Amino acid sequence: IFPPIAAALALTLTAAFAAPRDGAVAAMLALPEKYSNGILKVYGDEGNPQPALWNIIARDKDNLGTIRRLSVSGGQLIKDTASFNMGQMFRNDEYFYPQSIAVDSAQAFAIASKYAAANNTRLGSVNYSLVDQGPDVDPMWFLDCRNPAGKRIGKLSIIATNGRVVSASGFARSP
């Protein structure tokens, strides 16, 4: 194999094996192609670091852009139902693509763990929500952080394209 091709192949294989198989990006990539260009929201509860189930709201480009609620677990699409959220049906939502997310749920959990440690507490679980809030705004992670007993210890807002924390309510100190 030519050196440039071998290097590209090695980099691709390294990235593929390093990516978490149960994270939010993997859940989005598990969706059929007809949803990949219309992801509106990804959310999951009680992640430690990953939730057992990722829920995804997306438009079905093969069916007049109808909104669907999809559930992914273990890298498999396990549920596909119509969403009757009237607010989302009539909004001109911004979509995001799995490839645009540089900070996956595992990295978001690690950031939350550092905030918990800086505040002398332990992170037990995270309720995740990943959304795009507008045409000039990058997708954002909204994390509801809980201690091992399930009590809220704080909330974080993290830019999903670069990992910058833009809000840390409930955390008195930053790491």
Strands of 39-47's sheet in order across: 76-82, 66-73, 54-60, 39-47, 125-131, 140-146, 152-159, 165-169
Adjacent-strand bridge partners of 156:
143, 168
Least confident piece of the model among 40-54, 105-119, 126-140: 126-140
- What pLDDT, on a 0 to 100 scale, did the predictor assign at position 17? 38
Residue 87 has pLDDT above 90, yes or no: no
Burial of 24 (0-12, 13-18, 19+ CB in 10 A): buried
Which of 23-27, 65-69, 97-101 is predicted most confidently? 23-27
Residue 91 has pLDDT above 50, yes or no: yes
C-alpha 72/C-alpha 12 separation (Å) is: 24
Percent of the chain with pLDDT over 70: 83
Average pLDDT of the segment spanning 128-145: 91
Summarize pLDDT for 156-172 with one digit per residue, the tens: 999 999 999 999 999 99
Residue 3 has pLDDT above 90, yes or no: no
- What pLDDT, on a 0 to 100 scale, did the predictor assign at position 83? 83
- What pLDDT, on a 0 to 100 scale, did the predictor assign at position 133? 79
C-alpha 117/C-alpha 82 separation (Å) is: 41
Cβ–Cβ < 8 Å for 146, 152? yes
Reply yes or no: is the peptide bond before residue 49 cis, omega within 30 of 0: yes
Residue 97 has pLDDT above 90, yes or no: no
Select from 155, 148, 160 the least CA-distant residue to 48.
148
Kindly report the pTM of this predicted structure: 0.83
Q: 144: helix, coil or strand?
A: strand
Dihedral of CA atoms 121, 158, 145, 47 in degrees, nearest 10, equals: -110
Least confident piece of the model among 32-36, 120-124, 131-135: 131-135
Average pLDDT of the segment spanning 57-75: 90
- Which carries the bigger pLDDT value, residue 18 or residue 103? 103
DSSP 75: T
**115, containing H or E segment:** helix 105-118
Summarize pLDDT for 103-125 with one digit per residue, the tens: 999 999 999 999 999 999 999 99
Which of 2-6, 7-11, 23-27 is predicted most confidently? 23-27
